[in-house]
Chain A
Amino acid sequence: MTEVRHDVRLRVNGVERSAAAPARRLLSDFLRHDLRLTGTHVGCEHGVCGACTVLVDGRPMRSCLLFAVSVDGAEITTVEGCRSGDGGLGPVQQAFLECHGLQCGFCTPGFITTITAYLAEHPDPTEEEAREAIGGNLCRCTGYVNIVASVLRAAELIRSGGRPA
């Protein structure tokens, strides 16, 4: 009983990557264990917590609910790819640091990818909209207070060109 493997090619954080994987390999496991990009975390394995959120062709998706083969050829952005152009922290990452938007950090990658995609379309959210934007991601440490603040701060950083004011 040997599993058939399929070549999966993805463009991950701007780099062409490929590996052979069984059809049932989840995108989360493919990223973490085949491509060794362990920034994407798995919190529930059934699409509820949002920790594994990555951007698939720019849209936030739960990588624990996708088979790697089903997104063959896609453009993927993980938390590792949310850095700024010069390799420093990206604006959402910087905002989390400034606002104490994380504690254990396990759910953080899913928030950062989700917020990155959200702010690309909503550059100037209100506090209520910021709260709504993160409403599908679970965090057990922060009570979300400082994550909401991080969304607003990230928007500010992006509007000012990505640099701390």
Chain B
Amino acid sequence: MTTKLFGEPIPRREDPRLVSGAGRYLDDLGPDALAVAFVRSPHAHARIIDIDVTDALDVDGLVAIYTYEDLAGRVAEPLPVLIPHPALHAPRTAHPLANGVVRHVGEAVAMVVATDRYVAEDVCDRIRVGYRPLPAVVGIDAACAATHRVHEDVPDNTAARLVQEVGDAPAAIAAAPYRLELELEIERSASMPMEGRGVYARWDAADRSLRVYSSTQTSTSLRFALATKLELPVDRVEVVTPDVGGGFGVKIVHPWPEEVLVPWAAIRLGRELRWTEDRREHFVASAHERGQRHRVRVGFDADGRLRGLDVTFWHDNGAYTPYGIIVPVITATQLLGPYRPGAYRVEFASLYTNTVQVTPYRGAGRPQGVYAMERTMDAIAQQLGIDRATVRERNFIQPEQMPYDHGMIFQDGRPLIYDSGDYPAAMAMLKELVGWDDFAAYRERARAAGRRVGIGLACYVEGTGVGPYEGAHVRVETTGQVVVATGLTSQGQGHETVFAQVAADALGVPIDDVTVVTGDTRRFKYAVGTFASRAAVMSGSAVALAAGKVRDKAVRIAAEALEADPGDLEIVDGAVQVKGDPAARIALGTVAALANPLRYSFDAQTALATQFAKAARVDRPPVADDDEPGLEATDYYSPIRSTFAYGMHAAIVETDPETADIRVLRYCVVHDCGNLINPRIVAGQVHGGVAQGIGGALYERLAYDRDGQLLNASFMDFLMPYASEVPAIEIAHLQTPSPLNPLGVKGAGEAGVIPGSAVLASAIEDAEGFRISRMPISPSELWELRQRHATGASPADRDPADRDPVDREGS
């Protein structure tokens, strides 16, 4: 038998090239291309008075300078609103180059093309832009106050307002024996992949065709967007995603201004052009996420069971809404986690500010929602004096209640119905893993030694594998080599490995015979993209379906050649053989040759398929009406709705009694993403997510001042975890298969990051004994909270109005 690969932790097939410097990332391409750089706004909000290029014109190596005035046709229009939503009543997007007004620091004002990047930046330095500054709207308070406007025609700075209700939550809360109200806030962070964005474009004037390479999470959709923007037939545009140095959500946005402008100028100039985003540009000109303030009202009974939950939250969407309101929509729905909320009402406002736009970052609204819900669970436990795990257990949806319909609409426009899961089992596993029941004794021992420790936990449910579809093409060459192509892209998730595992199993071939191509529209044209923990579910299922079709066809053709019943055949190690009689076999490569009836041969293998090679069946055409030549097939997987993975995390922290330094001593994860295709890769995804969760909880924030200047737009000042900040991560897996897809898998990409702020807030609160309601939290903030708490001003009871999110970054 061929070894089954599904479920095996095999090493990654992309690694030999990536560890040896042979990867091909965007900036590695087009060594002879001209370089592009941008003049970007230094103001958060300003009117552009004039742009003077006089001093720039004599720079040796300058090729072209463009401003908005040079743009025409659809390139001059605002960028698309990618995901329209009925509640998004005032969507606004940027122009590729600012059209008279800039609305955040970093917005592109002029584009420069030169012989190399150094020269292009010299030119940028010599372009003088006259601005008339306008008042900047920074932070949720300023956006709500609407004393000033981000967009002249949006007087309340509100892009969207959405209410979803199941039952009558206010009435249920009013009638509940116990009630709480909490104000919970999370600050901005960002995806911050190690490789920024980048675009490289080549125009073939004779062929009138464009090839664009982009460090994107969606090559297929970028292709359609570019064809539209540049007014080219779609079949004259190809988009290729090379190796991508991380995405984490930010690269799903498209087309970026630069993705439109670089190809546009390449066509205009008839030259190859490349733009590589630098780190400062990435901070001020791509996207951020997370900034939200939540007000939770909850009613519950004496056992801690929820009667009603009423959540209002404010989402800072930055200056533009190219990705719609997906992030707050996800918060609104995924806040519910593994719990039955009783009656539920959620309302949010999505607000414009003069800051970088907000689009999904790994987790995409879930970290905020889980934080709001889990902080609430902890508050209920504290009020009633019940163990925090017990309160959660009492509110869990039970396995026998699956599938569980929340009666809401999820981010894919489809019902929020959980497909499977065993939350009580996961909690039992987590308590065992972290030693929940033994912690009191550990705390006492630590206390006796003068140490302060705390334990926290948090649960989440994550809708993964959102539609609408993904597809795959599987082809067997006459050499027996199998080529799998799928349209979605890769940013480090190991798709070349896991899709090969799926295809090799489905076809019965050694994995070394399988090659996987992703993110290249020349190879597969229809796809959605890599986001929302969807690749394994969507493309994995499509690969399995397409490979199954190829397998069926191979068996049918081989049955004829072997004069056997198809039901008696199996594919083992790349050959179709009669079960129990391995001598009667035919190699898949030969089957592939036979699958393509030929007039002309070019080697011994293909000679087998020519018209005089065998006794022909003259009673039917060489290719049947319902058949096609070749041993290949395309199939698509389109799910009825999302599949819901889940997990529970626990952390033990130590806080320094003197300095308030916060150290994570242990971090435990119980994770259920259904069947695991490659456990090693899933564990890696969890590790990376946890590190980002810890970063978001303790270190990462984007600090804007009142004028909309981003004060920490560098790796010196925006603190991401190094190895010294990430503890060993202990993981236990449950595997509750999804009933929705052929592989029984659920997504795993975002999982690790989701409960980070919730679990660490819970642990720090446990160590300190007072409520933590703002994250991230730094040692100096914790120290200040201690002082407030000691003087009787309980942090949880502060008036929300006295907190200005704009200028609280003291470091």
* B118 and A22 contacting across the interface, CB-CB below 8 Å: yes
Residues in B neighbouring A18, C-beta threshold 8 A: none
Asked whether any CB of chain A lies closer than 8 Å to the CB of B684, the reply is yes
Over the window 511-547 of chain B, the binary record of Cβ atoms lying under 8 Å from chain A Cβ atoms (1 yes, 0 no) is 0000000000000000000000000000000000000
Residues A115-156 near B (CB distance < 8 A): 131-132, 134-148
Asked whether any CB of chain B lies closer than 8 Å to the CB of A6, the reply is no
Over the window 681-721 of chain B, the binary record of Cβ atoms lying under 8 Å from chain A Cβ atoms (1 yes, 0 no) is 10111011111100000000000000000000011100011
Asked whether any CB of chain B lies closer than 8 Å to the CB of A3, the reply is yes
* A93 and B19 contacting across the interface, CB-CB below 8 Å: yes
Asked whether any CB of chain A lies closer than 8 Å to the CB of B564, the reply is no
**Given the contacts A44-B714, A96-B15, A39 and B21 also touching, CB distance less than 8 Å:** yes
* A104 and B195 contacting across the interface, CB-CB below 8 Å: yes
Asked whether any CB of chain A lies closer than 8 Å to the CB of B193, the reply is yes
**Given the contacts A43-B195, A46-B279, A140-B720, A103 and B684 also touching, CB distance less than 8 Å:** yes
Smallest Cβ distance from B266 to chain A, in angstroms? 19
Smallest Cβ distance from B702 to chain A, in angstroms? 16
In the complex, what distance in Å separates the CA atom of A32 from the CA atom of B795?
Answer: 52
* B715 and A102 contacting across the interface, CB-CB below 8 Å: no
Asked whether any CB of chain B lies closer than 8 Å to the CB of A19, the reply is no
In the complex, what distance in Å separates the CA atom of A83 from the CA atom of B492?
Answer: 22
Smallest Cβ distance from B426 to chain A, in angstroms? 21
**Given the contacts A135-B723, A144-B723, A1 and B60 also touching, CB distance less than 8 Å:** yes
In the complex, what distance in Å separates the CA atom of A145 from the CA atom of B685?
Answer: 11
Residues in B neighbouring A144, C-beta threshold 8 A: 687, 691, 722-723, 726
Asked whether any CB of chain B lies closer than 8 Å to the CB of A112, the reply is yes
* Cβ 8 A contact of B20, one of A22, A24, A83, A135: A83
Residues in A neighbouring B316, C-beta threshold 8 A: none
In the complex, what distance in Å separates the CA atom of A141 from the CA atom of B723?
Answer: 12
Asked whether any CB of chain A lies closer than 8 Å to the CB of B152, the reply is no
In the complex, what distance in Å separates the CA atom of A37 from the CA atom of B23?
Answer: 11
* B723 and A147 contacting across the interface, CB-CB below 8 Å: yes
Residue of A nearest to B31 (CB): A36
Residue of B nearest to A87 (CB): B20
Residues in B neighbouring A78, C-beta threshold 8 A: 21
Residue of B nearest to A106 (CB): B245
Residues B40-97 near A (CB distance < 8 A): 58-60
**Given the contacts A2-B60, A39-B22, A131-B724, A46 and B716 also touching, CB distance less than 8 Å:** yes
**Given the contacts A44-B714, A48-B715, A48-B716, A142 and B60 also touching, CB distance less than 8 Å:** no
Asked whether any CB of chain A lies closer than 8 Å to the CB of B25, the reply is yes
* B244 and A104 contacting across the interface, CB-CB below 8 Å: yes
* Cβ 8 A contact of B492, one of A48, A94, A104: A104
Residues in B neighbouring A97, C-beta threshold 8 A: 11-12, 15-16, 19
* Cβ 8 A contact of B18, one of A49, A98, A108: A108
Residues B173-204 near A (CB distance < 8 A): 192-195
Over the window 90-120 of chain B, the binary record of Cβ atoms lying under 8 Å from chain A Cβ atoms (1 yes, 0 no) is 0000000000000000000000000011100
In the complex, what distance in Å separates the CA atom of A25 from the CA atom of B715?
Answer: 22
Residues A30-86 near B (CB distance < 8 A): 32-33, 36-46, 48-49, 51, 78-80, 82-83
Main secondary structure of the interface of A (DSSP, over half): loop
Asked whether any CB of chain B lies closer than 8 Å to the CB of A10, the reply is no
In the complex, what distance in Å separates the CA atom of A79 from the CA atom of B15?
Answer: 13
Smallest Cβ distance from B248 to chain A, in angstroms? 7
Smallest Cβ distance from A17 to chain B, in angstroms? 15
Residues in A neighbouring B684, C-beta threshold 8 A: 100, 103, 141-142, 146
* Cβ 8 A contact of B726, one of A44, A79, A145: A145
In the complex, what distance in Å separates the CA atom of A29 from the CA atom of B31?
Answer: 11
Please classify how large the interface on chain B is, using the bins under 10, 10 to 19, 20 to 34, 35 or more.
35 or more
Q: How many A-B residue pairs have CB under 8 A?
A: 175
Residues in A neighbouring B60, C-beta threshold 8 A: 1-3
* A37 and B11 contacting across the interface, CB-CB below 8 Å: no
Residues in B neighbouring A134, C-beta threshold 8 A: 723
**Given the contacts A48-B714, A97-B12, A148 and B246 also touching, CB distance less than 8 Å:** no
Asked whether any CB of chain B lies closer than 8 Å to the CB of A27, the reply is no
* B28 and A38 contacting across the interface, CB-CB below 8 Å: yes
Residue of A nearest to B687 (CB): A143
Residues in A neighbouring B722, C-beta threshold 8 A: 135-138, 144
Asked whether any CB of chain A lies closer than 8 Å to the CB of B278, the reply is yes
Residues in B neighbouring A146, C-beta threshold 8 A: 684, 687
In the complex, what distance in Å separates the CA atom of A1 from the CA atom of B752?
Answer: 53
Residues B212-270 near A (CB distance < 8 A): 243-246, 248
Asked whether any CB of chain B lies closer than 8 Å to the CB of A8, the reply is no
Residues in B neighbouring A36, C-beta threshold 8 A: 31
In the complex, what distance in Å separates the CA atom of A33 from the CA atom of B116?
Answer: 10
Asked whether any CB of chain A lies closer than 8 Å to the CB of B793, the reply is no
Residue of A nearest to B716 (CB): A48
Asked whether any CB of chain A lies closer than 8 Å to the CB of B415, the reply is no
Residues in A neighbouring B690, C-beta threshold 8 A: 143
Asked whether any CB of chain B lies closer than 8 Å to the CB of A158, the reply is no
Residue of B nearest to A13 (CB): B21
Asked whether any CB of chain A lies closer than 8 Å to the CB of B374, the reply is no
Asked whether any CB of chain A lies closer than 8 Å to the CB of B548, the reply is no
Residues in A neighbouring B494, C-beta threshold 8 A: 103
* A96 and B714 contacting across the interface, CB-CB below 8 Å: no
Residues in B neighbouring A33, C-beta threshold 8 A: 31, 116
* B716 and A141 contacting across the interface, CB-CB below 8 Å: no
Residues in A neighbouring B491, C-beta threshold 8 A: 104
Residue of A nearest to B196 (CB): A43
Asked whether any CB of chain A lies closer than 8 Å to the CB of B27, the reply is yes
In the complex, what distance in Å separates the CA atom of A114 from the CA atom of B15?
Answer: 18
Residue of A nearest to B9 (CB): A100
* Cβ 8 A contact of B279, one of A44, A100, A131, A142: A44
Residues in B neighbouring A141, C-beta threshold 8 A: 194, 246, 492, 684, 688
Residue of B nearest to A1 (CB): B60
* Cβ 8 A contact of A105, one of B19, B58, B116, B683: B19
Asked whether any CB of chain B lies closer than 8 Å to the CB of A89, the reply is yes
* B688 and A131 contacting across the interface, CB-CB below 8 Å: no
* A80 and B20 contacting across the interface, CB-CB below 8 Å: yes
Residues in B neighbouring A40, C-beta threshold 8 A: 21
Residues in A neighbouring B11, C-beta threshold 8 A: 97-98, 100
Residues in A neighbouring B278, C-beta threshold 8 A: 45
Smallest Cβ distance from B275 to chain A, in angstroms? 14
* B25 and A145 contacting across the interface, CB-CB below 8 Å: no
Q: Which residues of A contact B (CB under 8 A)?
A: 1-3, 22, 24-25, 29, 32-33, 36-46, 48-49, 51, 78-80, 82-83, 89, 93-94, 96-98, 100, 102-109, 112, 131-132, 134-148
The 21 sampled A-B contact pairs (Cβ below 8 Å) are A3-B60, A40-B21, A42-B27, A48-B715, A51-B194, A78-B21, A79-B21, A89-B19, A97-B19, A100-B680, A103-B492, A104-B195, A105-B15, A105-B18, A107-B194, A135-B722, A139-B194, A142-B691, A143-B690, A144-B687, A144-B723
The 4 A-B residue pairs whose C-beta atoms are closest, nearest first, are A39-B21, A106-B245, A104-B492, A105-B18
Extra pairs beyond A41-B195, A48-B715, A102-B492 (10, CB < 8 Å): A3-B60, A38-B21, A38-B27, A49-B715, A80-B20, A97-B11, A104-B193, A105-B18, A137-B723, A143-B729
